[in-house]
Structure 1
Amino acid sequence: MMNRYFVDLHIHIGRTASQRPVKITGAKSLTLSNIVQEATYTKGLQMIGIVDAHVPEILQEIEQHIEKHRWMEHEDGGIITHGVTMLLGSEIEIYDDHCQGPIHVLVFFPTIDTMRKFSDWMASYVKNRSLSSQRIYVSGKHLQEQVKKWGGLFILAHAFTPFKSVYGKGVKKSLTEVFDPSLIDAVELGLSADTTMADQIEELHRYCYVSNSDAHSLKNIAREYQMIAMKEATFAELKKALRHEQERKIMANYGLNPKLGKYYRTTCARCLSRWSGEQCERCGHRQQIVGVYERLQQLRTTSHTAVMRPPYIHQVPLSFIPGIGERTYKKLIERVGTEMYIMHEASEDELAYVAGQNIAKTIIAARNGTLQVHEGGGGKYGKVKSPE
């Protein structure tokens, strides 16, 4: 019998337990212990991917938790904590001779031993393996081969964002310019794209899509995620789910309406107003930040997008809901339940009792996909409009 799991596979470490920086742009509160606490008791996730687990001090922290706090390694891969399974991953930047621009990828390994072996190998090809998202000085295909050597998963990260992604600036037209397509396990859509948009590129039809938060702060964990059918929350079960093997599968992707993403539409690089023509109509600037929507118009190879996919549900995180500040958010979590419960199951009456009728109606409208959205772009998120 399959069970249902909420999963976010892209969470960064901001600081180690000793407060050494890992992800420079990550919040100081984004420590391993805080992530597990937040993911379990506030967000309501059952599986998370830590994408800075290659850092030696982070691996030492995990081993200390196993020794002192009864975490354990599952025989099928993954670290079992108190309520959530942690997968050991790394985000890596590729910029080899075949790239047009830098590309980020995610890799995951089943055990501490395999992650440590990969980290030791990686140390010879990066400048500082104690930091996140380091550029690795090997080819994309060579990296893929090393990941598979140790039984790992290889996922293209935020594949359409303008910066540091395969289709943003990484390739001219095809991922085959840089990668061996047979060694890719999944494609992460990113905040400004959804399933229908991605399926305009025919070479992606063979891959499973994942939706993850790319969290640089605790509050952004699970702003995108997926529901997965597995027997247990383990590395081996996830591997089967990405391949749709033995009834394991992604049941639904929950992601931002792409219009809420920071890079949905093309904008002026200077004033961030909507771009049209050869220069900005507002300020006359001639440089632009190409949006995902426009980039896909350049890349699309088919209008046939009727691939058998799980539903992609346009999710509006609680932090985007008008009227939900820190105080109201805290009340909702304390009195109603986890974010997963609030966003998927709580009744309008439950929500209204704690947060008021207007906010309750907005959450229900977000759940039903009926909220109006103002498009984002140029690094600025879109906005939702209250039903009232």
Structure 2
Amino acid sequence: MPYICDLHIHSKYSRACSKELTLENIDKWAKLKGIDIIGTGDFTHPAWFNDIENQLEEAKSGLYKFKGSDSGTLFMLTTELSCIYKQGGKARRLHICILAPNIDFVKKLIKELKDRGCNLAADGRPIIGLSAKELLKICLEIDENHLTIPAHAWTPWFAIFGSKSGFDSIEECYEELSEYIYSIETGLSSDPLMNRRLSKLDNITLISNSDAHSLPNLGREANVFDLQEASFKKIFEIIKDQDKKKFLYTIEFFPEEGMYHFDGHRECKISFSPAETKKRQGVCPQCKKLLTIGVLNRVDNLADRTTDKIDEKRIIPYKSLIPLQEIIADSLNVGKQSKKVQGEYFNLINKGKSEFNILLNLSGGDLNNITSGKISEGIMRVREGRVKLTPGFDGQYGKIEIFSLAEKSIDLQSKLF
């Protein structure tokens, strides 16, 4: 049975995150989205961990449910930690996801971090003065059957391969403990095919998660596992073993939509492909400051093969999608926060069971029965990859055009006359 899993999100206690991110709301929105298993996020934060202990109860082995809820949503105990330290004569900044097998693991990790002077109450994603390797060692000593996963692996800042403060390999970062890194999170600005250009990642399982800072962003990336019986152990084994039979596919952003796909300088509105950056010697032509080197360029620098040399039969498949609210907004040519979009979104969810069911499963005919022909066409175009992409850069999201300006102009004229 396919389980859609989003294993990296945040709570209301994380910086720049919505105050609506409560366990009760996450439980409700996971059902709207069609997410079967969702991370708790932020389990090291004392107030959030108190909520976890009081509001969740174990439903499956290592998986939890919101007390009194009949949503069917399962929670996995997860967090993200910010490791800032020096290694190899360079400042390193890495975000690391921890997927925990049980409450006991969480309690022991919290104690170990507190004993080392970490201020866990400062933020849902706290900064800890430990190296990524030290953190892994602590977690392994508590229980080897957990998952330590470098988050959004290619983001320029705060990532294992980031151009600003990362490493060139997992081995450079984790040294003799590298064998315990079974997986990396690809992040919004890269997709699995880009990552598979590095042969040294062949034995690393690529996962995708939303890293959501608000409820509507839950599930914007996710993983789909075939589970006969849901449990932490089963998911751990699928990821550890890169089980291609049970890891059905990942759900992805179009990487161009991510904030760091291209190189650039946001203040000067400069966006460059890797080839253009090379011509400019990495310098912004407007202000002469160094450009922020994006994910595509960084992949180019570390890759040892081209896309055509990848054996796609050996990799876990993926599907690129756009969140339903964005599709509705582009179809109606209005902002996604507008009442019109919000009304149609919940109307569609009510009729189509869940967002993922609508985006992945309903036929064109079924879609036409529950929404306008324009929105139905937009969903089918996204499903087929028929979209125009303008890459994001230097912290600015990319733009995706489902309907051209000419098509939108025709629609506007038809409304006027």
Deviation at 1:353, TM superposition (A): 4.1
Deviation at 1:177, TM superposition (A): 1.9
C-alpha distance in structure 1 between counterparts of 2:367 and 2:73, whole Å: 26
Among 6, 9, 16, the alignment partner of 1:8 is 6
Q: Which residue of 2 aligns with 1:237?
A: 234
Give me the TM-score of the superposition, normalised by structure 1: 0.90
Whether contact under 8 Å (2:265, 2:393) holds in the other structure is no
* 1:97 pairs with 2:86: yes
1:227 is paired with a residue of what secondary structure?
Answer: strand
* 1:160 pairs with 2:154: yes
Alpha-carbon deviations, 1:201-248, whole Å to 9, x = none? 222111100010000000000000111112222211101111348886
Deviation at 1:261, TM superposition (A): 1.0
Whether contact under 8 Å (2:97, 2:150) holds in the other structure is yes
C-alpha distance in structure 1 between counterparts of 2:242 and 2:82, whole Å: 30
Deviation at 1:354, TM superposition (A): 4.0
Structure 2 runs not aligned, ≥5 long? 408-417
C-alpha distance in structure 2 between counterparts of 1:166 and 1:343, whole Å: 32
* 1:80 pairs with 2:65: yes
* 1:271 pairs with 2:268: yes
2:5 is paired with a residue of what secondary structure?
Answer: strand
Q: Which amino acid aligns with 1:164?
A: F
C-alpha distance in structure 1 between counterparts of 2:386 and 2:396, whole Å: 22
Instruction: Give the fraction of aligned pairs with identical amino acids, expressed as a percent.
Output: 27
Cα 1:378/1:138, change in 2 over 3 Å: closer
Q: Which amino acid aligns with 1:349?
A: G
Whether contact under 8 Å (2:37, 2:76) holds in the other structure is yes
Deviation at 1:43, TM superposition (A): 0.6
* 1:120 pairs with 2:114: no
Whether contact under 8 Å (2:382, 2:402) holds in the other structure is no
* 1:184 pairs with 2:174: no
Deviation at 1:264, TM superposition (A): 0.6
C-alpha distance in structure 2 between counterparts of 1:48 and 1:249, whole Å: 18
Q: Which amino acid aligns with 2:58?
A: M
* 1:136 pairs with 2:128: yes
* 1:302 pairs with 2:299: no
How well do the aligned residues superpose, as a CA RMSD in angstroms? 2.0
Q: Which residue of 2 aligns with 1:107?
A: 98
Q: Which amino acid aligns with 1:136?
A: I
Whether contact under 8 Å (1:243, 1:249) holds in the other structure is no
Q: Which amino acid aligns with 1:259?
A: E
Alpha-carbon deviations, 1:18-55, whole Å to 9, x = none? xxxx1021001011111111112x11111111220122
C-alpha distance in structure 1 between counterparts of 2:343 and 2:207, whole Å: 32
1:376 is paired with a residue of what secondary structure?
Answer: coil
Q: Which residue of 1 aligns with 2:215?
A: 218
Alpha-carbon deviations, 1:278-318, whole Å to 9, x = none? 4434x334232211111111222333432611112111121
Equivalent residues in 2 for 1:26-41, closer than 5 Å: 26-40=17-31
C-alpha distance in structure 2 between counterparts of 1:233 and 1:330, whole Å: 28
1:216 is paired with a residue of what secondary structure?
Answer: coil
Whether contact under 8 Å (1:186, 1:209) holds in the other structure is yes
Whether contact under 8 Å (1:229, 1:241) holds in the other structure is no
* Higher gyration radius (CA): 2
1:102 is paired with a residue of what secondary structure?
Answer: strand
Deviation at 1:127, TM superposition (A): 4.1
Q: Which amino acid aligns with 1:122?
A: L
1:53 is paired with a residue of what secondary structure?
Answer: coil
Q: Which amino acid aligns with 1:96?
A: Y
How many pairs does the alignment contain? Answer: 372
C-alpha distance in structure 1 between counterparts of 2:202 and 2:101, whole Å: 26
Q: Which residue of 2 aligns with 1:280?
A: 284
Alpha-carbon deviations, 1:39-94, whole Å to 9, x = none? 12x1111111122012222232223224xxxx3253x3121344122111110112
C-alpha distance in structure 2 between counterparts of 1:328 and 1:126, whole Å: 49
* 1:227 pairs with 2:224: yes
Whether contact under 8 Å (1:73, 1:111) holds in the other structure is no
Give me the TM-score of the superposition, normalised by structure 2: 0.84
* 1:200 pairs with 2:200: no
Deviation at 1:273, TM superposition (A): 2.0
Whether contact under 8 Å (2:156, 2:165) holds in the other structure is no
C-alpha distance in structure 2 between counterparts of 1:155 and 1:39, whole Å: 22
